[in-house]
Structure 1
Amino acid sequence: MKKLSLFAGLLLLLVVGTAAHAEDARPFLTAKDVDLTMILPPPPADDSAQTKAEIGEVLTLQVTRTPEMEARAKADAEENVWRFADVMGPKFTKEALPKLNAFFERVVATEGAVVDPAKDFWKRPRPHMLSDLVKPIVKPSTSGAWPSGHTTVGTMMGIILADMVPEKRAEIMTRAWEYGHNRVVAGIHYPSDIEMGRIAGAVIASNLQHDSDFEKEYEEAKAELRSVLGL
């Protein structure tokens, strides 16, 4: 019984430790390094013609999206690089690429550290907060919509992956664009949030290239990825 209790305790520590590692990933950059409020324009007013037109676009997708589109939009609610597995191939797994996994956890943490302050600054209400007709198919959020954090990190991951594996650049960037668009399909963002997310992602990715800490981990993750993929 004592051995069983010890095993259970060790297993719990392992699970908790793994979760803590994912949550505590240290960002490469923060809003102090990239201030999006000084780069992006402010969002359209809630009662503007543009916002009303964009709600119309969301509602149109709501009645025209297919079950397959809905399934992909729901799956893309996850913020991790493994959503690119469908274009990277069967060898692209967390288990096979531990260095890449740790590296992209820091990329995801960077998105939050840079984007969240901007979201809080602008506080753009999401579509379902302005129209009762909008029914998101992912977990509703009341955080600021401008810019889309998912789109920002999807763009960052796409740019970085495409730099690591230029042989698949077209497929990777097409997937990154779909990842962002799926936030509109899911009914949780306006199209202009996605546009701003793509700009934010490109800006952050560009700034990361000047960070020595990023460059070191990038090279290690790239070498691991290309080795596993046989490139």
Structure 2
Amino acid sequence: MMMARTLHAAGLGTMAGFLLAGATVVAADGPPAMTSPVNTLLAQGYLAREALPDSLSILPAPPAEGSAALARDREASKAGLALGKSARWALATADADLRSPAATGAFSCAAGFEISPQATPAIDRLMRRSLPDLGLATYGVKERYKRARPFMENGEANCSPDYTEMLRKDGSYPSGHSAIGFGWGLMLAEVVPDRAARLVARGVAFGDSRRICNVHWLSDVEQGRLMGAAVVARLHADPGFQADLQAAKAEAAAARSTAPSRNCTQEEAALAPQP
């Protein structure tokens, strides 16, 4: 079956849009062909769809109207909006673009060396191949509740304007980006264990970028982390993932001498706790 038909039948909305954009889909059971050698977002994940952790069995319903949890979500949203078009907003905008060849580089400063398709192909492969597993595992709950996103309630701008209409049709809870970011942080903590705390923290921040972007509520982000952790736990039983994880570890040892190309001082300032 064509992957496009499979995704449509499963109602995978925005994540399908992010994954399908810029790619050529062919009729096959394996990975589709892609128009760019660096755009691996449509590559086959490690897990079959039926092997993904079931979000409906793991996550609760989103916060109900009138609940303390929803009030907390709204306060956190206001705090994000108060940052305005700051350095943190700029970083959140960069984190939003999963299609970019530079997407995996978001973890370069936390790792202490350059992560990219060119500099660290094994690490990049581990991250990109796990992306569909991490993102698509959230869709059972997304489709069940179809929660409206913050920008739909507050009328303010978001940092992915090209995807606004797609986002409107896609459930906010939980955040697929948060699952991806946190999952990547956990994987990289194994690849570079002496920098585990920084890498996991960057995974947390990668997800929180969605709150800063005004496209997800805080509870969306938090429950996305839970799904990311569940997927990583499941991936450890997959031989292909284990092989790629070992290759990434071997590559990291040689990559430690390659400084990140991004401005890590600027990134650290953007991620510093707000007063």
Q: Which band: TM-score by shorter chain? A: 0.7 to 0.9
1:135 aligns with 2:157: yes
Rounded to whole Å, the distance in 1 between the matches of 2:34 and 2:187 is 29
Question: What is the Cα deviation at residue 47 of structure 1?
Answer: 6.0
State which of 46, 57, 81 in structure 2 corresponds to 1:28.
Answer: 46
* CA deviation after TM superposition for structure 1 residue 100, in Å: 2.1
Map 1:142-221; keep pairs closer than 5 Å. Answer: 142=168, 143-221=170-248
1:62 CA displacement: 0.8
Give distance in 2, aligned partners of 1:49 and 1:31.
Answer: 35
Q: Give the alignment partner of residue 40 of structure 1, picking from 59, 68, 73.
A: 59
Aligned partners of 1:17, 1:182: CA distance in 2, in Å?
A: 27
Render the CA deviation track for 1:12-70: whole Å, top value 9, x for unaligned: xx982526x61431111255221111111111235655335423431232124461111
2:110: which partner in 1?
A: 87
Q: How far has the Cα of 1:105 moved from its partner?
A: 1.3
CA contact (8 A) 1:164 1:222 kept: yes
**Structure-2 separation of matches of 1:88 and 1:204:** 21
Distance in 2 (CA, whole Å) between partners of 1:38 and 1:213 is 26
Partner of 1:74: 93
Residue 24 (structure 2) aligns with: none
CA distance in 1, matches of 2:82, 2:139: 31
Mapped contact 2:105–2:114 kept (Cα < 8 A): no
Is the 1:151–1:197 Cα contact (8 Å) retained in structure 2?
yes
TM-score, normalising length from structure 2? 0.71
Query: What SS class does the counterpart of residue 76 from structure 1 fall into?
Result: helix
Counterpart Cα distance in 2 of 1:93 and 1:24 = 17
Larger Rg: 1
Matched, 1:62 2:81: yes
Distance 1:191 1:25 in 2: 30
C-alpha distance in 2, partners of 1:91/1:49? 42
Higher helix share: 1
Distance 1:53 1:170 in 2: 26
The separation in 1 between residues aligned to 2:67 and 2:92, in whole angstroms, is 27
- Where does residue 253 of structure 2 map in the other structure? 226
Unmatched tracts of structure 1, length 5 or more: 1-13
Give the distance between the partners of 1:94 and 1:66, measured in 2 at CA: 30
Contact 2:89 2:212 in 1 (8 A): yes
For residues 96-115 of structure 1, the C-alpha deviation after alignment (integer angstroms, 9 at most, x for no partner) is 22222222211112123322
Tell me the equivalent position of 1:126. Answer: 149
**Runs of 5+ consecutive residues of structure 2 not aligned to the other structure:** 1-32, 258-275
Report the identity percentage: 27
Of 11, 14, 18 in structure 1, the residue corresponding to residue 37 of structure 2 is 18
Q: 2:124 pairs with 88, 94, 101, which one?
A: 101
Question: What is the identity, as a one-letter code, of the residue corresponding to 1:178?
Answer: A
1:124 deviation in Å?
1.1
